[in-house]
Amino acid sequence: MNGAESLLRTLAEAGVEVCFSNPGTTELHLVGALDAVPGVRAVLGLFEGVATGAADGYARIAGKPAATLLHLGPGLGHGLSNLHNARRANSPIVNIVGDHPTYHKPYDPPLESDIETVARSLRGPVRRPENAAGVRHDAISALAEALEPPGQIATLIMPADVSWADGVAVGGDGDRPTVPARPVPAVSPALVDQVAQVLRSGEESALVIGGTAGQAAGLYAASRIAAASGARVFLETYASRVEHGAGLPSFPRLGFYPEQVLRQLDGARHVVVAGTSAPVAFFAYPDQPSRLVPDGAQTHVLAEAGQDAVGALTALADLLAPDSRPEVTEPARPAMPTGPLTVETWPAVIGALLPDRAIVIDETISSGIGLPAATAGAPRHDVLAQCGGAMGEGMPLAIGAAIAAPDRPVIALEADGCAIYTLSALWTQARENLNVTNVILNNRSYAILREEWQHLGAGASDPHTNKLLDLSGPEIDFVGLARAFGVAGSRASTAEELAEQFTRALAEPGPHLIEAVIPPTA
Amino acid sequence: MNGAESLLRTLAEAGVEVCFSNPGTTELHLVGALDAVPGVRAVLGLFEGVATGAADGYARIAGKPAATLLHLGPGLGHGLSNLHNARRANSPIVNIVGDHPTYHKPYDPPLESDIETVARSLRGPVRRPENAAGVRHDAISALAEALEPPGQIATLIMPADVSWADGVAVGGDGDRPTVPARPVPAVSPALVDQVAQVLRSGEESALVIGGTAGQAAGLYAASRIAAASGARVFLETYASRVEHGAGLPSFPRLGFYPEQVLRQLDGARHVVVAGTSAPVAFFAYPDQPSRLVPDGAQTHVLAEAGQDAVGALTALADLLAPDSRPEVTEPARPAMPTGPLTVETWPAVIGALLPDRAIVIDETISSGIGLPAATAGAPRHDVLAQCGGAMGEGMPLAIGAAIAAPDRPVIALEADGCAIYTLSALWTQARENLNVTNVILNNRSYAILREEWQHLGAGASDPHTNKLLDLSGPEIDFVGLARAFGVAGSRASTAEELAEQFTRALAEPGPHLIEAVIPPTA
């Protein structure tokens, strides 16, 4: 077999099931191998950012890496923004980038560029097998590195001549590769004990959880800790995956703006952190701090991302109150609203109708503030945020989530400005017939930038007349965009319309897009 | 004034007239300055690759740099592919990327990433002013570096606190900054003489021209050289800007595949190169050479990109035949074809109807092979190719060209696979009411990859059944996409329909899109 087939066979044998691809000439032997090797499903995106965002969504739901397949440096460039988001979500990805043969590169052909340098900006390992016989080792290593807690982007650059070189003997039946286990490091009992003493001190405390602690076991433990110690619990602002809904504890998310976070943590003498980092400002503002822990408060890192945060929280709860039970949300739906859609009414419609076991992608930016409260008593679901701040991941995330969990409804809630970056994700959703309901919150502006303008004091002029912050001319017809990509589309301006269209979208198989027209929030 | 205003004033005073932007929070003071400072037109793109491709098109037609405005590392990532193409076109660009304040970066907020590393992959200078007082110097330096022959991408990273810091006194009326001149180096008379001796030897010779030699003066000189020496002249395969049409010499382009180029240069004992590099294979193939100069032939570099190729060619022609005149193409139009659109008939329709002084963007990939012959006798026009091989630059290039030359018709000829990468360019065309006629050659496949499959011998299976090479399911409705972005759209399946729609698009102001449905070429 050739190097390309060795790569695909190795990944398949090691349990990689999907490759999100946008290939070119240098990747054609890999395209051939995807046909020839059973076990790895090839999913085509028409833009590399769709492929990388889908790999992020897949990793979050499947709990294991997918591969990507990107075309040279420019393809990696197109995929970089959502790889950045994936890195911030700690999603494991085997990021395969094709390259010219090594002997061809010194001739500096048009597509030659510095792939290594760009890949290194993702702070994960970068490998380049030198020959076809070395592919299997590098593939297994990249997979192991991707899985290193908390998960990272491992890039594998495949020169075309390594892909096409023949005569590799490794791989095949009964030769299942061993991917070295990378166990999640436990937190020392001494540190758990130390934090327990802090919480027993009676001084006001806050507990900020994120990462793996967003899953049910972490939420239960955090609730028990709150009950035993009086600590206020908060979720990190943008979490890779949080379980939410009836039967689970529900905690407020930390706000986006520094003054919001400082108000939430006000009075705390101790801030305990588990599964994430101590809160910092998303953006900097003149005369606002970067570090968002109240003056005089002590930070205690119980578990970093990559450590066993759930184990540490559970041990801490057991220490503080061994027999305690978590406080969970009762099943409850918001009353179905009527009349025009607003930032208040649209989340209520979603909360009233959210189906069981949904996966909710939240890239609503300025429009989604009411969503957590509106869905707190809905049937249990997962919420995936876009973690890196790079707009345009929602609809790709939905692809990956739907492929990882084909039996679950996926709901992508998208700000209009975000949706435009990766529009062709709709085409992949249609091609793969994925059960995704995309709801585009269309306020026809970069509303978040108008909000930020006020926060920054960015200029004497009025952000509402600034041409660069206005998306109203021409108005974008998202229903038309959806249909052009083969996705059923409809437009809702009232709560009644959204309810009817959302219900229908969930009932019918395949992807749907609902353009929800809302007034600008800022 | 603050640092942002100092930057905009400096650029405006130094002659920068346009800023292609997709800003975020860290760039809001620059957005404010774009409002406050007269002289720099802010053009909004909804995706950074639209902004960077537009800056490339602007530079090629205006002959001077535009600025870009990108949001942090992920924005640079989205813009990287078309910056790569711009680098290969030797287009000068002042590439402005916003960043967090320096003091905020150590906190590693979600959008923190390694902007410098990614920018350095473009092989141009990267500057980061340390304070507002230093902005003016860095802006002038970046502009001078961008203009360094043959032109390059000069990146200017603007930390938000440098943008918002107040109290800068420089700039203003009467304080026009001096951008150090970077003259194009002349070729030594000795080298011209040496090449003249080669061409006088009577041995078979070929002349490959590109870069600035694609403009009329270079074409005239090359034609005179051919007449005097018998050398066969070829244009480089993908040139940044070539003048073409009636009254100009017309030369064949070098082919895309190695065997095509070697056939074209077959028999040559000498290959003289001016304005570009010696031909190399675009992609590598097993058992094909990278260097595409026939065995035993000598390469003579008369002028590299960045040297005065037109001056050198003119001097060479004067040496060889001082009184000679170039051979130019007579005005002639192809007969208007009838019946179904094919790769043969669609270029004939364009050739029959091409208006005077058009700017033709050619990103047709596998569908455009017949275009040069069909337009050789049409009214004089400029042809801009996508030079770097990174798909998705055509419609953004058209934006920049139309803004640089608002009185000229711009015609973007686009392969379907390419158009999808930067679809939202249509929105910017509509918003700015640009006279761009986009013709999408829709063959519903990655036809180029099927062609390449045959060349590579990429696998035993049939590329026509390979799911990753097929764009037919679902079929993309480009007319619907255009209308959704506010652009008039129509579909043509016959030559008659294309002729009627193309004529109408040219007659009406503002952008149009014609989806030309053609059979797959491979």
Query: What is the CATH number that goes with domain A189-320?
Result: 3.40.50.1220
- Determine the average pLDDT of the residues in B220-235: 97
Residues of A in contact with B107 (CB under 8 A): 280-281, 290-291
Taking 60 as the threshold, does the pLDDT of residue B157 lie above it? yes
Write down the pLDDT at residue B415: 93
Cβ contact B108–A421 (<8 Å):
no
Q: Give the residue from A28, A88, A120, A163 with the most B CB atoms within 10 Å of its CB, the best one to mutate.
A: A28
Cβ contact A387–B110 (<8 Å):
yes
Confidence of residue B470 (pLDDT cuts 50, 70, 90): confident
Higher pLDDT: B81 or A181? It is B81
Taking 70 as the threshold, does the pLDDT of residue B519 lie above it? yes
Higher pLDDT: A456 or A174? It is A456
- Determine the average pLDDT of the residues in A201-211: 97
Q: How close is the nearest chain A Cα to the Cα of B339, in Å?
A: 26
Q: How close is the nearest chain B Cα to the Cα of A74, in Å?
A: 4
**C-alpha–C-alpha distance, residues B213 and B241, integer Å:** 9
Quick one: what percent of chain A has pLDDT higher than 70? 98
Cβ contact A474–B84 (<8 Å):
no
| Residue of B372, B377, B411 lying closest to B394 (CA atoms) | B411
Residues of A in contact with B88 (CB under 8 A): 110
**C-alpha–C-alpha distance, residues A48 and A22, integer Å:** 6
Confidence of residue B188 (pLDDT cuts 50, 70, 90): very high
ipTM above 0.90, yes or no: yes
Q: What is the pLDDT of residues A460-509, one digit of tens each?
A: 677 777 888 887 789 999 999 999 999 999 999 999 999 999 999 999 99
SS3 content of chain A, % helix, strand, coil (to 5): 40, 20, 40
Taking 60 as the threshold, does the pLDDT of residue A33 lie above it? yes
Domain boundaries, chain B: 3-164, 189-320, 345-517
B444 in reach of chain A (CB within 8 A) = no
User: At residue B419, what are phi and psi to the nearest 5 degrees?
Assistant: -60, -30
A36 in reach of chain B (CB within 8 A) = yes
A:66-85 residues touching chain B, CB 8 A cutoff:
72-75, 77-81, 84-85
Write down the pLDDT at residue A174: 54
Query: What is the CATH number that goes with domain A3-164?
Result: 3.40.50.970
A118 in reach of chain B (CB within 8 A) = yes
Q: Say yes or no: do domains B189-320 and B345-517 share a fold.
A: yes
What mean pLDDT value characterizes chain A? 95
Confidence of residue B175 (pLDDT cuts 50, 70, 90): low
Q: Contact at 8 Å (CB) between B298 and B271? A: yes
B113 in reach of chain A (CB within 8 A) = yes
- Determine the average pLDDT of the residues in B315-319: 98
Cβ contact B103–A284 (<8 Å):
yes
A179 in reach of chain B (CB within 8 A) = no
Write down the pLDDT at residue A466: 81
Cβ contact B468–A387 (<8 Å):
no
Q: Give the residue from A81, A116, A291, A513 with the most B CB atoms within 10 Å of its CB, the best one to mutate.
A: A81
Q: Contact at 8 Å (CB) between A89 and A71? A: no
Taking 60 as the threshold, does the pLDDT of residue B66 lie above it? yes
Strand order in the sheet with B270-274: B232-235, B205-209, B270-274, B298-303
For residue B470, the 8-state DSSP code is: B
Confidence of residue B192 (pLDDT cuts 50, 70, 90): very high
Taking 80 as the threshold, does the pLDDT of residue B472 lie above it? no
Cβ contact B480–A475 (<8 Å):
no
Residues of B in contact with A123 (CB under 8 A): 114
Taking 90 as the threshold, does the pLDDT of residue B464 lie above it? no
Give me A338's structure tokens. 């009527």
Reported pTM: 0.97
Confidence of residue A521 (pLDDT cuts 50, 70, 90): low
Q: Contact at 8 Å (CB) between B506 and B500? A: no
Query: What is the CATH number that goes with domain B345-517?
Result: 3.40.50.970
CB pairs under 8 A between A and B: 309
Write down the pLDDT at residue A455: 83
Cβ contact A75–B81 (<8 Å):
yes
What mean pLDDT value characterizes chain B? 95
Write down the pLDDT at residue A175: 64
Write down the pLDDT at residue A63: 96
Q: Give the residue from B7, B31, B444, B451 with the most A CB atoms within 10 Å of its CB, the best one to mutate.
A: B31
Cβ contact B282–A460 (<8 Å):
no
Residues of A in contact with B277 (CB under 8 A): 108
Cβ contact B284–A100 (<8 Å):
yes
Taking 90 as the threshold, does the pLDDT of residue B465 lie above it? no
Confidence of residue B159 (pLDDT cuts 50, 70, 90): very high
Q: Does a cis peptide bond (omega within 30 degrees of 0) precede residue A326?
A: no
User: At residue B230, what are phi and psi to the nearest 5 degrees?
Assistant: 80, 0
Cβ contact A284–B475 (<8 Å):
no
B:157-176 residues touching chain A, CB 8 A cutoff:
160-161, 164
Q: What is the pLDDT of residues B257-312, one digit of tens each?
A: 999 999 999 999 999 999 999 999 999 999 899 999 999 999 999 999 999 999 99
Residues of B in contact with A72 (CB under 8 A): 390
